[in-house]
Amino acid sequence: MKKTDLKMAKKCFATNIISADVKGKTLVFAAHRNNPKFYDETGLEFSPEGATLICSKTLPEGSSVQMKMLIPEDDRIHRINTDGTIRSHEKIHGATKDYFRMNVCFTSLEAADKQTLRTLWEKYCG
């Protein structure tokens, strides 16, 4: 993700990476039961421009992803659908296994999702 003056909202949320385009090959994760599952991964922070995720598997930098984020707010959950690009990733050593921190830059957001994301970002950054 590009470094900007935009502060990231520190808010955990569920993330599902639905598909990815890696070096010209499209992977649809829901279609493969034994494929590395990018279901129910954890989002650590977000802004209107991107998000930081913790995942059990990594994708190469430059990979395009289609994903949904489920961001809780009080007594409801907002579902944000977006496309993005993996800008960076790093391995994190956990107590029992390794994880990957991936930074995703959003490339496509519907207008309503963009407004919801901006409203949530303002709430959790303030």
Q: For residue range 65-108, what is the model confidence (pLDDT) as tens digits?
A: 999 999 999 999 999 999 999 999 999 998 898 999 999 999 99
Q: Is residue 4 part of a domain?
A: no
pTM score, two decimals? 0.83
pLDDT bin (cut points 50, 70, 90) of residue 16 is: confident
- C-alpha 55/C-alpha 92 separation (Å) is 10
Q: How many domains does the chain have?
A: 1
> In Å, how far are 111, 122, 124 from 85, measured between CA atoms?
19, 23, 24
What tokens were used for 33?
């039961």
Report pLDDT for 27: 74
The domain that holds 78 is classified in CATH as 2.40.10.220
The reported pLDDT for the residue numbered 3 is 45
102 within domain boundaries: yes
- Say what the pLDDT of residue 34 is: 52
Least Cα distance to 91 among 46, 58, 67 occurs for 58
In a domain, residue 2? The reply is no
